[in-house]
Amino acid sequence: MIGYGFMGAAHSVGWRQAPRMFDLPRGVEMTVVVGRNADAVASAAAKWGWAESATDWREVIARDDIDIVDIVTPGDSHAEIAIAALEAGKHVLCEKPLANTVAEAEAMVQAAERARAAGLRAMVGFTYRRVPAVTLLRDMIAEGAVGAIRQVRAAYRQDWLLDPEMPLAWRLQKEHAGSGALGDIGAHIIDMTQFVTGLGVERVSGVIDTIVKERPLPGDGSLGLSRGTGTAEKGAVTVDDVAIFTGRLAGGALASFEATRFATGRKNALTIEVSGDRGALAFDLEDLNSLRFYDRTAPEGRQGFTRILVTEPQHPYVSAWWPAGHMLGYEHGFSHQVVDLVRAIDAGTDSPPSFEEGLAVQRVLDAVERSSAADAAWTSVALPVAAH
Protein backbone atom coordinates (compact mmCIF):
# COMPACT_ATOMS: atom_id res chain seq x y z
CA MET A 1 0.00 0.00 0.00
CA ILE A 2 1.41 3.37 -1.04
CA GLY A 3 0.23 6.14 1.29
CA TYR A 4 -0.85 5.92 4.91
CA GLY A 5 -3.26 8.74 5.78
CA PHE A 6 -6.99 8.48 6.49
CA MET A 7 -7.60 6.20 3.51
CA GLY A 8 -4.55 4.16 4.46
CA ALA A 9 -6.19 3.30 7.76
CA ALA A 10 -9.47 2.39 6.06
CA HIS A 11 -7.81 0.24 3.40
CA SER A 12 -5.68 -1.48 6.04
CA VAL A 13 -8.81 -2.51 7.93
CA GLY A 14 -10.16 -3.95 4.69
CA TRP A 15 -7.03 -5.95 3.91
CA ARG A 16 -6.84 -7.25 7.48
CA GLN A 17 -10.52 -8.19 7.92
CA ALA A 18 -11.49 -9.60 4.53
CA PRO A 19 -9.41 -12.83 4.72
CA ARG A 20 -10.68 -13.48 8.24
CA MET A 21 -14.39 -13.05 7.58
CA PHE A 22 -14.73 -14.29 3.99
CA ASP A 23 -13.59 -17.51 2.33
CA LEU A 24 -11.15 -16.12 -0.19
CA PRO A 25 -9.62 -18.26 -2.94
CA ARG A 26 -6.14 -16.95 -2.15
CA GLY A 27 -4.34 -15.83 0.97
CA VAL A 28 -3.58 -12.16 1.55
CA GLU A 29 -0.36 -10.91 3.12
CA MET A 30 -0.02 -7.26 4.11
CA THR A 31 3.61 -7.05 3.06
CA VAL A 32 4.69 -3.40 3.01
CA VAL A 33 3.29 0.11 3.41
CA VAL A 34 5.11 3.03 1.76
CA GLY A 35 5.39 6.69 2.77
CA ARG A 36 7.86 9.56 2.54
CA ASN A 37 8.38 9.96 6.29
CA ALA A 38 10.29 6.89 7.51
CA ASP A 39 9.30 7.21 11.17
CA ALA A 40 5.65 7.95 10.48
CA VAL A 41 5.18 5.14 7.97
CA ALA A 42 6.96 2.68 10.29
CA SER A 43 4.51 3.64 13.02
CA ALA A 44 1.60 3.15 10.63
CA ALA A 45 2.90 -0.29 9.64
CA ALA A 46 3.09 -1.37 13.27
CA LYS A 47 -0.34 0.02 14.10
CA TRP A 48 -2.23 -1.38 11.11
CA GLY A 49 -0.54 -4.76 10.74
CA TRP A 50 1.82 -4.36 7.78
CA ALA A 51 4.91 -6.58 7.93
CA GLU A 52 7.29 -3.77 6.99
CA SER A 53 7.52 -0.17 5.83
CA ALA A 54 9.47 1.60 3.09
CA THR A 55 10.00 5.09 1.69
CA ASP A 56 10.61 4.42 -2.04
CA TRP A 57 7.55 3.18 -3.91
CA ARG A 58 9.56 2.54 -7.06
CA GLU A 59 11.71 -0.01 -5.28
CA VAL A 60 8.65 -1.65 -3.76
CA ILE A 61 6.75 -2.14 -7.03
CA ALA A 62 9.85 -3.77 -8.53
CA ARG A 63 9.85 -6.50 -5.87
CA ASP A 64 8.94 -10.03 -6.92
CA ASP A 65 7.00 -10.70 -3.70
CA ILE A 66 4.43 -7.97 -4.39
CA ASP A 67 1.33 -8.92 -6.41
CA ILE A 68 -1.06 -6.02 -5.70
CA VAL A 69 -0.32 -2.32 -5.32
CA ASP A 70 -2.94 -0.30 -3.40
CA ILE A 71 -2.66 3.47 -4.01
CA VAL A 72 -4.03 5.81 -1.33
CA THR A 73 -1.89 8.87 -2.04
CA PRO A 74 -3.12 12.36 -3.06
CA GLY A 75 -4.45 12.50 -6.61
CA ASP A 76 -1.40 14.17 -8.14
CA SER A 77 0.57 10.91 -7.91
CA HIS A 78 -2.14 8.40 -8.90
CA ALA A 79 -1.30 8.27 -12.59
CA GLU A 80 2.46 7.95 -12.18
CA ILE A 81 2.26 5.21 -9.56
CA ALA A 82 -0.58 3.23 -11.16
CA ILE A 83 0.98 3.19 -14.63
CA ALA A 84 4.38 2.20 -13.23
CA ALA A 85 2.84 -0.56 -11.11
CA LEU A 86 0.88 -2.00 -14.03
CA GLU A 87 3.99 -1.91 -16.22
CA ALA A 88 5.85 -3.72 -13.42
CA GLY A 89 3.32 -6.56 -13.61
CA LYS A 90 1.21 -5.71 -10.56
CA HIS A 91 -2.54 -5.65 -10.08
CA VAL A 92 -3.63 -2.15 -8.99
CA LEU A 93 -6.29 -0.75 -6.67
CA CYS A 94 -6.39 3.06 -6.82
CA GLU A 95 -8.43 5.39 -4.64
CA LYS A 96 -10.92 7.79 -6.18
CA PRO A 97 -11.04 10.10 -7.98
CA LEU A 98 -8.94 8.14 -10.45
CA ALA A 99 -6.71 11.11 -11.31
CA ASN A 100 -6.54 14.89 -11.23
CA THR A 101 -7.26 15.40 -14.93
CA VAL A 102 -9.00 13.66 -17.78
CA ALA A 103 -5.69 13.32 -19.61
CA GLU A 104 -4.12 11.51 -16.65
CA ALA A 105 -7.16 9.24 -16.31
CA GLU A 106 -7.03 8.42 -20.03
CA ALA A 107 -3.37 7.45 -19.72
CA MET A 108 -4.25 5.20 -16.77
CA VAL A 109 -7.01 3.51 -18.77
CA GLN A 110 -4.60 2.88 -21.65
CA ALA A 111 -2.10 1.34 -19.23
CA ALA A 112 -4.84 -0.83 -17.73
CA GLU A 113 -5.90 -2.01 -21.19
CA ARG A 114 -2.31 -3.03 -22.00
CA ALA A 115 -1.95 -4.76 -18.64
CA ARG A 116 -5.25 -6.61 -19.03
CA ALA A 117 -3.77 -8.52 -21.95
CA ALA A 118 -1.17 -9.84 -19.50
CA GLY A 119 -3.84 -10.91 -17.00
CA LEU A 120 -3.51 -7.90 -14.71
CA ARG A 121 -6.51 -6.21 -13.05
CA ALA A 122 -7.07 -2.54 -12.24
CA MET A 123 -9.83 -1.26 -9.95
CA VAL A 124 -10.75 2.23 -8.71
CA GLY A 125 -11.92 2.54 -5.12
CA PHE A 126 -15.50 3.81 -5.18
CA THR A 127 -16.09 1.94 -1.93
CA TYR A 128 -19.66 3.10 -1.29
CA ARG A 129 -20.77 0.77 -4.08
CA ARG A 130 -20.00 -2.03 -1.65
CA VAL A 131 -22.21 -0.87 1.19
CA PRO A 132 -24.77 -3.73 1.16
CA ALA A 133 -27.74 -1.35 1.00
CA VAL A 134 -26.29 0.46 -2.03
CA THR A 135 -25.64 -2.81 -3.86
CA LEU A 136 -29.21 -3.89 -3.03
CA LEU A 137 -30.51 -0.54 -4.30
CA ARG A 138 -28.75 -1.17 -7.61
CA ASP A 139 -30.13 -4.71 -7.78
CA MET A 140 -33.71 -3.61 -7.06
CA ILE A 141 -33.58 -0.93 -9.77
CA ALA A 142 -32.23 -3.49 -12.25
CA GLU A 143 -35.13 -5.78 -11.33
CA GLY A 144 -37.62 -3.00 -12.14
CA ALA A 145 -38.63 -1.97 -8.62
CA VAL A 146 -38.92 1.72 -9.52
CA GLY A 147 -39.80 1.24 -13.20
CA ALA A 148 -38.58 3.81 -15.70
CA ILE A 149 -36.26 6.29 -13.98
CA ARG A 150 -37.59 9.86 -14.04
CA GLN A 151 -35.34 11.76 -11.62
CA VAL A 152 -32.34 11.31 -9.31
CA ARG A 153 -31.34 13.49 -6.36
CA ALA A 154 -27.85 12.96 -4.94
CA ALA A 155 -25.95 14.95 -2.33
CA TYR A 156 -22.81 14.62 -0.24
CA ARG A 157 -22.64 17.23 2.49
CA GLN A 158 -19.96 17.88 5.12
CA ASP A 159 -19.04 20.88 7.28
CA TRP A 160 -15.38 20.34 8.17
CA LEU A 161 -14.22 23.55 6.45
CA LEU A 162 -16.65 25.91 8.18
CA ASP A 163 -13.93 27.41 10.39
CA PRO A 164 -11.97 29.91 8.24
CA GLU A 165 -9.01 29.46 10.58
CA MET A 166 -8.60 25.79 9.72
CA PRO A 167 -5.08 25.55 8.23
CA LEU A 168 -4.43 25.04 4.55
CA ALA A 169 -3.98 21.37 3.64
CA TRP A 170 -3.15 19.43 0.49
CA ARG A 171 -6.85 18.76 -0.12
CA LEU A 172 -7.26 22.52 -0.64
CA GLN A 173 -4.54 22.82 -3.29
CA LYS A 174 -5.41 22.10 -6.91
CA GLU A 175 -1.91 20.91 -7.78
CA HIS A 176 -2.29 18.08 -5.26
CA ALA A 177 -6.03 17.37 -5.06
CA GLY A 178 -7.16 18.27 -8.57
CA SER A 179 -10.40 19.75 -7.25
CA GLY A 180 -12.09 20.27 -3.90
CA ALA A 181 -15.53 19.11 -2.82
CA LEU A 182 -16.34 18.35 -6.46
CA GLY A 183 -13.66 15.68 -6.91
CA ASP A 184 -13.36 14.49 -3.33
CA ILE A 185 -16.99 13.82 -2.48
CA GLY A 186 -18.80 14.82 -5.67
CA ALA A 187 -17.05 11.94 -7.43
CA HIS A 188 -18.83 9.54 -5.06
CA ILE A 189 -22.33 10.74 -5.89
CA ILE A 190 -21.61 10.82 -9.62
CA ASP A 191 -20.35 7.24 -9.50
CA MET A 192 -23.18 6.11 -7.23
CA THR A 193 -25.79 7.61 -9.56
CA GLN A 194 -24.28 5.92 -12.60
CA PHE A 195 -23.80 2.65 -10.67
CA VAL A 196 -27.32 2.26 -9.25
CA THR A 197 -29.18 3.49 -12.35
CA GLY A 198 -26.92 2.01 -15.02
CA LEU A 199 -27.21 5.37 -16.81
CA GLY A 200 -24.32 7.65 -17.69
CA VAL A 201 -24.30 11.41 -17.09
CA GLU A 202 -24.23 12.95 -20.58
CA ARG A 203 -24.51 16.72 -19.96
CA VAL A 204 -24.19 18.97 -16.95
CA SER A 205 -25.02 22.52 -15.91
CA GLY A 206 -23.64 23.84 -12.66
CA VAL A 207 -21.46 26.07 -10.56
CA ILE A 208 -18.54 25.61 -8.20
CA ASP A 209 -17.43 28.16 -5.63
CA THR A 210 -14.63 28.75 -3.14
CA ILE A 211 -16.15 30.27 -0.02
CA VAL A 212 -12.99 30.77 2.04
CA LYS A 213 -10.29 31.81 -0.39
CA GLU A 214 -7.31 31.96 1.99
CA ARG A 215 -6.37 29.91 5.01
CA PRO A 216 -3.55 29.99 7.58
CA LEU A 217 -0.43 28.12 6.56
CA PRO A 218 0.37 25.07 8.69
CA GLY A 219 3.31 25.57 11.00
CA ASP A 220 4.99 22.27 10.16
CA GLY A 221 6.03 23.21 6.63
CA SER A 222 4.16 20.20 5.27
CA LEU A 223 2.98 22.08 2.17
CA GLY A 224 6.40 23.34 1.22
CA LEU A 225 5.26 26.93 1.63
CA SER A 226 7.20 29.43 3.70
CA ARG A 227 5.54 31.46 6.39
CA GLY A 228 6.84 34.43 8.28
CA THR A 229 7.37 34.78 11.99
CA GLY A 230 3.89 36.22 12.47
CA THR A 231 0.71 34.19 12.82
CA ALA A 232 -1.25 35.85 10.02
CA GLU A 233 0.54 34.24 7.05
CA LYS A 234 -2.01 32.66 4.72
CA GLY A 235 -2.03 30.67 1.53
CA ALA A 236 -4.54 30.58 -1.30
CA VAL A 237 -7.24 27.92 -1.46
CA THR A 238 -7.18 26.87 -5.11
CA VAL A 239 -10.03 24.35 -5.17
CA ASP A 240 -13.78 24.58 -4.73
CA ASP A 241 -15.61 24.37 -1.40
CA VAL A 242 -19.01 23.64 -2.93
CA ALA A 243 -20.34 22.29 -6.23
CA ILE A 244 -24.01 22.30 -7.24
CA PHE A 245 -25.02 20.98 -10.64
CA THR A 246 -27.72 19.31 -12.70
CA GLY A 247 -27.07 16.37 -14.97
CA ARG A 248 -28.95 14.92 -17.92
CA LEU A 249 -28.75 11.12 -17.83
CA ALA A 250 -28.77 8.78 -20.79
CA GLY A 251 -32.43 8.23 -21.61
CA GLY A 252 -33.40 11.76 -20.61
CA ALA A 253 -33.87 11.68 -16.84
CA LEU A 254 -32.60 14.64 -14.82
CA ALA A 255 -30.31 14.34 -11.80
CA SER A 256 -29.39 16.99 -9.24
CA PHE A 257 -26.06 16.89 -7.42
CA GLU A 258 -24.67 18.78 -4.44
CA ALA A 259 -21.18 18.36 -3.00
CA THR A 260 -20.20 20.69 -0.20
CA ARG A 261 -17.88 21.05 2.75
CA PHE A 262 -19.91 23.98 4.13
CA ALA A 263 -23.20 22.28 5.06
CA THR A 264 -23.40 23.35 8.70
CA GLY A 265 -24.14 20.42 10.98
CA ARG A 266 -23.62 17.76 8.31
CA LYS A 267 -20.63 15.55 9.08
CA ASN A 268 -20.74 12.88 6.37
CA ALA A 269 -24.22 13.03 4.86
CA LEU A 270 -24.36 11.14 1.56
CA THR A 271 -27.89 10.64 0.22
CA ILE A 272 -29.42 9.44 -3.03
CA GLU A 273 -33.03 9.06 -4.10
CA VAL A 274 -34.13 7.50 -7.38
CA SER A 275 -37.69 8.18 -8.54
CA GLY A 276 -39.42 6.14 -11.24
CA ASP A 277 -42.88 5.61 -12.64
CA ARG A 278 -43.45 2.54 -10.45
CA GLY A 279 -41.76 3.60 -7.24
CA ALA A 280 -38.75 5.16 -5.53
CA LEU A 281 -35.70 4.08 -3.56
CA ALA A 282 -33.68 6.20 -1.13
CA PHE A 283 -30.40 5.67 0.72
CA ASP A 284 -28.79 7.71 3.50
CA LEU A 285 -25.22 6.94 4.60
CA GLU A 286 -26.09 8.11 8.11
CA ASP A 287 -28.51 5.13 8.21
CA LEU A 288 -26.38 2.83 6.09
CA ASN A 289 -27.98 -0.47 7.05
CA SER A 290 -31.32 0.35 5.45
CA LEU A 291 -33.14 1.48 2.31
CA ARG A 292 -36.42 3.35 1.93
CA PHE A 293 -38.73 1.93 -0.73
CA TYR A 294 -41.95 3.39 -2.11
CA ASP A 295 -44.06 0.96 -4.12
CA ARG A 296 -46.47 2.94 -6.30
CA THR A 297 -48.14 -0.29 -7.45
CA ALA A 298 -49.40 -1.08 -3.94
CA PRO A 299 -53.04 -0.32 -3.06
CA GLU A 300 -53.49 3.40 -2.38
CA GLY A 301 -54.30 2.76 1.26
CA ARG A 302 -51.01 0.87 1.72
CA GLN A 303 -48.64 3.24 -0.06
CA GLY A 304 -45.79 5.03 1.70
CA PHE A 305 -42.05 4.74 2.12
CA THR A 306 -41.17 1.54 3.96
CA ARG A 307 -37.85 0.70 5.59
CA ILE A 308 -35.89 -2.31 4.40
CA LEU A 309 -33.33 -3.40 6.99
CA VAL A 310 -30.38 -4.68 4.94
CA THR A 311 -28.89 -7.12 7.46
CA GLU A 312 -30.25 -10.47 6.27
CA PRO A 313 -27.90 -13.19 5.00
CA GLN A 314 -29.63 -12.96 1.60
CA HIS A 315 -28.42 -9.37 1.21
CA PRO A 316 -25.15 -8.53 -0.60
CA TYR A 317 -22.01 -9.37 1.41
CA VAL A 318 -23.92 -9.74 4.71
CA SER A 319 -23.78 -13.54 5.15
CA ALA A 320 -20.07 -13.42 6.06
CA TRP A 321 -20.65 -11.12 9.02
CA TRP A 322 -23.11 -11.18 11.93
CA PRO A 323 -26.62 -12.53 12.63
CA ALA A 324 -29.59 -10.67 11.13
CA GLY A 325 -30.17 -7.27 12.68
CA HIS A 326 -26.53 -6.80 13.74
CA MET A 327 -25.32 -3.68 12.00
CA LEU A 328 -22.37 -3.09 9.70
CA GLY A 329 -20.40 0.16 9.54
CA TYR A 330 -18.35 2.44 7.32
CA GLU A 331 -15.26 0.22 7.39
CA HIS A 332 -16.99 -2.89 6.04
CA GLY A 333 -17.11 -1.55 2.48
CA PHE A 334 -13.32 -1.67 2.38
CA SER A 335 -13.37 -5.38 3.28
CA HIS A 336 -15.92 -6.02 0.54
CA GLN A 337 -13.65 -4.18 -1.90
CA VAL A 338 -10.80 -6.55 -1.05
CA VAL A 339 -13.09 -9.57 -1.40
CA ASP A 340 -14.23 -8.60 -4.88
CA LEU A 341 -10.71 -7.74 -6.06
CA VAL A 342 -9.09 -10.94 -4.78
CA ARG A 343 -11.87 -13.11 -6.19
CA ALA A 344 -11.60 -11.37 -9.56
CA ILE A 345 -7.84 -11.81 -9.70
CA ASP A 346 -8.21 -15.50 -8.89
CA ALA A 347 -10.93 -15.97 -11.51
CA GLY A 348 -9.04 -13.99 -14.15
CA THR A 349 -11.89 -11.49 -14.54
CA ASP A 350 -12.31 -7.76 -14.02
CA SER A 351 -14.00 -6.46 -10.90
CA PRO A 352 -15.77 -3.12 -11.30
CA PRO A 353 -15.38 -0.25 -10.94
CA SER A 354 -12.74 -0.37 -13.65
CA PHE A 355 -10.37 2.41 -14.59
CA GLU A 356 -12.73 3.05 -17.52
CA GLU A 357 -15.51 3.76 -15.02
CA GLY A 358 -13.16 6.02 -13.09
CA LEU A 359 -12.45 7.90 -16.32
CA ALA A 360 -16.19 8.29 -16.93
CA VAL A 361 -16.52 10.03 -13.55
CA GLN A 362 -13.44 12.16 -14.30
CA ARG A 363 -15.07 13.37 -17.50
CA VAL A 364 -18.16 14.46 -15.57
CA LEU A 365 -16.01 16.34 -13.04
CA ASP A 366 -14.23 18.07 -15.89
CA ALA A 367 -17.52 19.02 -17.55
CA VAL A 368 -18.84 20.54 -14.30
CA GLU A 369 -15.76 22.74 -14.03
CA ARG A 370 -16.14 23.85 -17.64
CA SER A 371 -19.84 24.53 -17.15
CA SER A 372 -19.14 26.69 -14.10
CA ALA A 373 -16.54 28.67 -16.04
CA ALA A 374 -19.17 29.26 -18.76
CA ASP A 375 -21.80 30.66 -16.35
CA ALA A 376 -23.48 27.29 -15.82
CA ALA A 377 -24.01 26.64 -19.52
CA TRP A 378 -25.10 23.12 -20.41
CA THR A 379 -21.85 21.28 -21.16
CA SER A 380 -21.34 17.92 -22.83
CA VAL A 381 -19.43 15.34 -20.82
CA ALA A 382 -18.04 13.92 -24.07
CA LEU A 383 -16.09 17.07 -25.05
CA PRO A 384 -12.31 16.45 -24.98
CA VAL A 385 -10.03 18.28 -22.60
CA ALA A 386 -8.53 20.12 -25.59
CA ALA A 387 -11.83 21.99 -25.96
CA HIS A 388 -11.28 23.91 -22.70
Cα(209)–Cα(186) distance, integer angstroms? 13
Residue 219's pLDDT band (cuts 50, 70, 90) = confident
pLDDT at 232: 65
Tens-digit pLDDT profile for residues 125-137:
999 999 999 999 9
Tens-digit pLDDT profile for residues 6-42:
999 999 999 999 999 999 999 999 999 999 999 999 9
- The full set of domains in the chain, from first to last, is 6-128 (3.40.50.720), 148-277+363-368 (3.30.360.10)
**Mean pLDDT to the nearest integer, 72-84:** 97
Write down the pTM of the prediction: 0.94
DSSP state of 353: S
**Mean pLDDT to the nearest integer, 79-100:** 98
pLDDT at 57: 98
Bond before 316 cis per omega within 30 degrees: no
Q: Which helix (H) or strand (E) holds 334?
A: helix 332-347
As a whole number of angstroms, the longest Cα–Cα distance in the chain is 71
Please give the mean pLDDT across all residues of the chain.
95
**Is the per-residue pLDDT at 225 higher than 90?**
no
Tens-digit pLDDT profile for residues 135-175:
999 999 999 999 999 999 999 999 999 999 999 999 999 99
Own/partner contacts of 38-43, CB < 8 Å, gap of 24 or more, are 40/4, 41/4
Q: How buried is residue 14: exposed, middle or buried, by Cβ count under 10 Å (0-12/13-18/19+)?
A: buried
Tell how far CA 103 is from the center of its chain.
19
Q: What percent of the chain has pLDDT over 90?
A: 94
How many Cβ atoms from other residues are within 10 Å of residue 326's Cβ?
10
Tens-digit pLDDT profile for residues 263-319:
999 999 999 999 999 999 999 999 999 999 999 999 999 999 999 999 999 999 999
**Mean pLDDT to the nearest integer, 174-196:** 96
Q: What is the 3-state secondary structure (H, E, C) of 279-327?
A: EEEEEEHHHCCEEEEEECCCCHHHCCCEEEECCCCCCCCHHHCCCCCCC
Which residue in 5, 385, 363, 314 sits closest to 202, CA to CA?
363
Regarding predicted confidence, which is higher, 90 or 220?
A: 90
